[in-house]
Amino acid sequence: MVEIPTKEQKYFIIDFDSTFTKVEAMDELGKISLQGNPKREDILREIHQVTELAMNGDISFSEALQRRVDLLKAHKDHLPELIAVLSGKVSDSFERNRDFLNEFADSILIISSGFREFIVPIVTALGIKPENVYANTFLFDDNGNIIGFDAENPLAKDKGKPELMRKLNLQGDVYVIGDGYTDYEIKEAGLANRFYAFTENVERGKVIANADHITPSLDEFLFVNKLPASLSYPKNRIKVLLLENIHPKAKELFQEQGFTVEMVKGALDEDELAERIRDVSVLGIRSKTQVTKKVLENANKLMCVGAFCIGTNQIDLKACQERGIVAFNAPYSNTRSVVELAIGEMIILMRQIVEKSNKMHRGEWDKSAIGSYEIRGKKLGLVGYGNIGTQLSVVAEALGMKVYYYDLVEKLALGNAQRCKTLHELLEICDVITLHTDGRKENANLIGAKEFERMKDGVIFLNLSRGHIVDVPALVNAVKSGKVAGAAVDVFPYEPKTNNEEFVNELRGLPNVLLTPHIGGSTEEAQENIANFVPGKLLDFINKGNTFGSVNFPNIQLPDLNDAHRMIHIHRNVPGILAQINSILANYQINIRGQYLNTREDVGYVITDIDKAYNKEVITELKNIPHTIKFRMLY
Ligand SMILES: NC(=O)C1=CN([C@@H]2O[C@H](COP(=O)(O)OP(=O)(O)OC[C@H]3O[C@@H](n4cnc5c(N)ncnc54)[C@H](O)[C@@H]3O)[C@@H](O)[C@H]2O)C=CC1
Ligand SMILES: O=C(O)CCC(=O)C(=O)O
């Protein structure tokens, strides 16, 4: 029985089904007991519906219990299998907070309308005392069939939990954690100080509406009540903001790990983002959102930014670095999509399909070969021979094109591609010119009037890289003069923030000009690939400190860590920081298990794995090392 409490005694009343475990045990028992029953699925659905009605407080509890027992047709021999299933379905946050369950075992009571026969083995394995489990008990017939339950148990009745609580007459503060209406009833009856709606496994509107606090995990409950927890900060308090219609898979991946995710369809302008960023720890954007100094000034919680695309010119990477904010992108996931679009566009432009199709829509039949060409044998000029340029090189060559490329840095020529020593050389040789440079500032107006002048008459011109790389008025003139026989443009110096904004640009209405709304990388495949890739990088940084693949931070790939703490120290790249970290640790006689350092430009990144024991003073001293930008304790 419960010990005689002191005045300050706190009691934690915890529900079992869908709180302590991820599932409803009666549903699981049905799956076992109804094996081979042709109506199994229908009966399981009915059991689940009855459970939900009872949990929402929509039908009487005792009625629900009897109906479920009748439907289950279960036997004593099914229970070991049920216990095995349930032991693998303990809620994650309970699993990781075993220390709390053990340390506070005297104060934790499991009060459930489920059954002792399966609850006790599960909860005692995590440190709960069997005498602190209050639940129903099954009635068996002589053959071991489950035929009912002890109807005298208050927990078998409506308002059973409050009735039991009255009997227990606990003296002290009572906190109830549960996912069902019957848990709230304890608070409703004035028998608890606070009711915490537990939503890690299931969210019930009526229960949430009555909660004093919604707790998406046990971590949150422990955090708000200043109780010992395995995580120093609950993940649900870490807010992820995903802009620009990022594929929903990304949201799923963050939510699976317990983060709070907010999605916005379009981009935000600087002022809007500067406001929204204040409570955001992880930001996901695509090519439109500008992450400027002004935005970053308010980004006090921001740990990392994910560009769910290739280009990162929209992010002030230097300012991020100075603030210890790590940026990642997806350097490969959409490259194939851009390559395929570029190939398709070359063919369309060489065959004058834009005009021909427009005429057909107007009812004009213009069958003619004049001005239409194959791409086979034509000279393709790639400006920028990076991930996209090189892939395009290979595919274009396979289609019979002769490939030339120009890149600022020396790149290995793939296949028979020929390197041009200067941009001008390429411009003068090629029949089709396509831009695939990155969007660095220095590339603004890389192609302007002079460059168009150098090109062959009737050249086909493509830009799928960044809008500012081309001087648009110069391109307009080149099209109008016939210098450029056809152009495909996917990117623009200014692009609408959302699909509701009008696209305004001088290129509108020009003949044989194919305009697309920055969709080079917008395929289902690419977007899903990106949504799998970037969260992986961000989570690896948040959870483990890995910066491998970051575009603005020293790259460190770290080993996983067991039974140790990981300290992350980001500092200005000045001499002596490592020595200071180690001298503080030595003063506290803390053993270093592993240490990793890398620097990049003005920033240094040190990871130190230490033995279990450390205290607050060490952390304060480490944070106070001059030139520290950010310090974070991982485990
Ligand atoms: N339209 C769309 O939806 C998409 C556009 N992109 C854009 O395509 C561009 C290329 O992407 P990746 O090939 O993945 O980039 P990458 O970084 O792999 O390659 C860029 C190459 O351009 C070279 N370069 C930079 N400035 C140059 C200059 N002035 N002259 C010659 N070479 C120069 C670099 O040395 C590098 O080799 C990026 O701007 C990216 O943002 C990427 C994906 C989708
Ligand atoms: O799909 C997007 O939003 C941007 C694609 C792009 O330009 C990039 O990946 O750099």
Answer yes or no: is the C-beta of 387 below 6 A from any ligand 1 atom: yes
Answer yes or no: is the C-beta of 5 below 6 A from any ligand 1 atom: no
| Domain of 565, in residue numbers | 559-635
Structural domain includes residue 486: yes
The residue whose CB lies within 8 Å of the most ligand 1 atoms, and thus the one to mutate among 333, 414, 438, is 438
- Give the number of whichever ligand sits closest to the CA of residue 381: 1
Return phi, psi of residue 628, to 5°. Answer: -70, 135
Structural domain includes residue 28: yes
Q: Write down the ipTM of this complex.
A: 0.99
323 and 412 assigned to the same domain: no
518 is catalytic: yes
Answer yes or no: is the C-beta of 335 below 6 A from any ligand 1 atom: yes
| CA of residue 286 to ligand 2 center, whole Å | 6
Structural domain includes residue 461: yes
Q: Tokens representing 433?
A: 């010119």
Residue that finishes a domain, picked among 328, 354, 387:
328
99 and 242 assigned to the same domain: no
454 is catalytic: no
Indicate if the alpha-carbon torsion angle 520, 522, 528, 531 is positive or negative.
positive
| CA of residue 313 to ligand 1 center, whole Å | 11
Structural domain includes residue 252: yes
Instruction: Name the one residue in this structure whose structure tokens are 């400006």.
Output: 383
| Closest ligand 2 atom number to CA of residue 522 | 1
315 and 360 assigned to the same domain: no
The residue annotated as part of the active site, out of 204, 237, 436, 466, is 466
Distance CA 490, CA 476 (A): 15
340 and 281 assigned to the same domain: no
CB 570 within 8 A of CB 629: yes
| Closest ligand 1 atom number to CA of residue 331 | 14
Axis crossing angle, helix 353-361 with helix 335-350, rounded to the nearest 10: 70
pLDDT in tens, 569-583: 999 999 999 999 999
Instruction: Name the one residue in this structure whose structure tokens are 């996983």.
Output: 560
Answer yes or no: is the C-beta of 406 below 6 A from any ligand 1 atom: yes
CATH of the domain at 626: 3.30.70.260
SS3 209: helix
Among the residues of 472-547, which ranges form H helices? 472-481, 524-544
Note the pLDDT of residue 55: 72
360 and 312 assigned to the same domain: no
- Give the number of whichever ligand sits closest to the CA of residue 341: 1
The residue whose CB lies within 8 Å of the most ligand 2 atoms, and thus the one to mutate among 245, 334, 489, 497, is 334
CATH of the domain at 312: 3.40.50.720
267 and 219 assigned to the same domain: no
Residue that finishes a domain, picked among 522, 542, 576:
522
Structural domain includes residue 265: yes
CB 469 within 8 A of CB 435: yes
Distance CA 268, CA 246 (A): 13
Number of structural domains found in the chain: 4
Bridge partners of residue 305, in order along the sequence? 283, 327
| Closest ligand 2 atom number to CA of residue 334 | 9
Distance CA 375, CA 408 (A): 26
Note the pLDDT of residue 4: 44
471 and 417 assigned to the same domain: yes
- Give the number of whichever ligand sits closest to the CA of residue 345: 1
258 and 219 assigned to the same domain: no
CA of residue 176 relative to chain centroid, distance: 31
164 and 300 assigned to the same domain: no
Distance CA 352, CA 371 (A): 7
40 and 138 assigned to the same domain: yes
Mean pLDDT of each 10-residue bin along the chain, 635 residues long: 57 98 95 94 92 80 88 96 98 95 97 97 98 97 96 94 97 97 96 97 95 97 93 91 97 94 96 98 97 98 98 97 98 98 98 95 97 97 98 98 98 98 98 98 98 98 98 98 98 94 97 97 97 98 95 93 87 96 94 94 95 84 97 86
The residue annotated as part of the active site, out of 188, 397, 495, 621, is 495
CB 330 within 8 A of CB 533: yes
105 and 179 assigned to the same domain: yes
- Give the number of whichever ligand sits closest to the CA of residue 464: 1
Note the pLDDT of residue 576: 96
569 is catalytic: no
CB 2 within 8 A of CB 170: yes
Answer yes or no: is the C-beta of 383 below 6 A from any ligand 1 atom: yes
The residue whose CB lies within 8 Å of the most ligand 2 atoms, and thus the one to mutate among 242, 246, 310, 489, is 310
Structural domain includes residue 4: no
CATH of the domain at 23: 3.40.50.1000
Note the pLDDT of residue 58: 83
**H/E/C letters for each residue in 348-369?**
HHHCCHHHHHHHHHCCCCCCCC
121 and 217 assigned to the same domain: yes
Note the pLDDT of residue 613: 72
Indicate if the alpha-carbon torsion angle 48, 49, 51, 55 is positive or negative.
positive
Answer yes or no: is the C-beta of 409 below 6 A from any ligand 1 atom: yes
Structural domain includes residue 206: yes
The amino acid at 328: F
Which H or E element spans position 113? Answer: strand 108-115
| CA of residue 154 to ligand 2 center, whole Å | 61
Going from the C-alpha of 264 to that of each of 190, 241, 267, 388, 462, the distances in angstroms are 41, 8, 7, 29, 31
Which H or E element spans position 63? Answer: helix 61-72
Among the residues of 92-241, which ranges form H helices? 92-95, 98-103, 116-124, 160-168, 181-188, 205-209, 218-224
Residue nearest to atom 42 of ligand 1 (CA): 310
Structural domain includes residue 373: yes
| Closest ligand 1 atom number to CA of residue 439 | 39
| Closest ligand 2 atom number to CA of residue 330 | 9
Q: Which has the closest alpha carbon to 631: 328, 327, 324, 326? A: 324
Residue that finishes a domain, picked among 328, 350, 373:
328
CB 455 within 8 A of CB 433: yes
CB 155 within 8 A of CB 136: yes
